Amino acid sequence: MLEREKRFLETQKQEREAKASLSSFTYPSFLSTLKEEDLPSLPSLFLTTTKDEVKRIKKTLSYIISILHNPHLSHKEEIAIVKSQMVSSYDDDLLEATREDSSLWSMKGRSNPLPKEIYTRLSDDDLCIYENFFLTAFIDILSEEVSQREILSSHLLKSLKEKGSLSSNEEESSLLYLSLVNLRKKIERIKDTPFYKVVKKRRPDIARYEATNILIHDPLYHVVYKDYLERIKPVEEKEVNQLIEELTLPSFFYALYQQGYRYKEEESSLKDNRLVYVKDKEVKLTLEKKEENKISVTIESLLLTEGDKEETYLLSFREGEKKRETRKENEILITPFSLIKGKEEHFYSSTLSLCESLLSSFYYLKEGEEDIYSHVCPNCLSSHLEREGNKVICSSCHTTYSFLKKEDGSSTLWIRNQE
For residue range 83-105, list pLDDT tens digits in order: 666 665 666 666 667 666 767 66
d(CA 71, CA 334): 45
Same structural domain for residues 63 and 196?
Answer: yes
Please, which pLDDT band fits residue 366 given cuts at 50, 70 and 90?
A: confident
What's the whole-number mean pLDDT along residues 306-332? 74
Q: What predicted TM-score, i.e. pTM, was given to this entire model?
A: 0.79
Per-residue pLDDT, averaged over 335-351, amounts to 87
Going by pLDDT thresholds of 50, 70 and 90, the confidence category of residue 49 is very high
The predicted pLDDT at position 23 comes to 85
Q: Does residue 205 or residue 88 have the better pLDDT?
A: 205
For residue 18, is it within any domain? no
- Cβ atoms of residues 175 and 167 within 8 Å: no
pLDDT, position 111: 60
Per-residue pLDDT tens over the stretch 268-277 = 988 888 999 9
Is 16 a member of any domain? Answer: no
In a domain, 1, yes or no: no
How many domains are contained in the chain?
Answer: 4
Domain boundary among 211, 235, 259: 235
> Which pLDDT does position 169 carry in this prediction?
44
- Confirm whether 19 is domain-assigned: no
Does residue 238 surpass a pLDDT of 70? Answer: yes
Do 201 and 299 lie in one domain? The reply is no
145 or 410: which leads in pLDDT:
145
96 is in which domain, residue-wise? 74-126
- What does the mean pLDDT of the chain come to? 84
Judge if 117 and 208 occupy the same domain. Answer: no
Same domain (yes/no): 65, 146: yes
In a domain, 14, yes or no: no
Question: Bigger pLDDT: 82 or 340?
Answer: 340
Gap between the Cα atoms of 290 and 253, Å rounded? 18
Same domain? For 176 and 101 the reply is: no
Question: Does position 280 have pLDDT exceeding 90, yes or no?
Answer: no
The predicted pLDDT at position 86 comes to 64
- Give the pLDDT band of residue 418 (cuts 50, 70, 90): low
- pLDDT the model gives residue 162: 53
Provide the pLDDT for residue 75.
58
**In the listed set 188, 220, 235, which residue is the last one of a domain according to the structure?**
235
**How many CB atoms neighbour CB 378 within 10 A?**
15
- Per-residue pLDDT, averaged over 191-206, amounts to 93
Mean pLDDT of 200-224: 94
Pair 121, 142 in one domain? no
| Domain final position from 95, 126, 157 | 126
Kindly indicate the confidence band of residue 160, based on its pLDDT and cuts at 50, 70 and 90: very low
Question: Residue 166: what pLDDT?
Answer: 46
Residues with Cβ < 8 Å from 65, sequence gap 6 or more? 190
Q: Which of 11-15, 197-201, 314-318, 388-392 has the lowest mean pLDDT?
A: 388-392
Q: Could you tell me if 55 and 154 lie in one domain? A: yes
- Residues 65, 88, single domain; the answer is no
15 found inside a domain: no
Q: Is 276 in the same domain as 204?
A: no
Q: Which residues pair with 412 in a beta bridge?
A: 367, 404
Domain co-membership, 283 together with 138: no
Residues in CB range of 167: below 8 A, 6 or more apart: none
Report, as an integer, the average pLDDT of 45-62.
95
Confidence of residue 108 (pLDDT cuts 50, 70, 90): low
pLDDT tens column, 225-236: 999 999 999 988
Let me know whether 220 and 310 are in one domain.
Answer: no
Q: Which residue has the higher pLDDT, 60 or 129?
A: 60
Q: Are residues 147 and 45 in the same domain?
A: yes
Give residue-wise pLDDT tens across range 346-363. Answer: 899 899 999 999 998 888
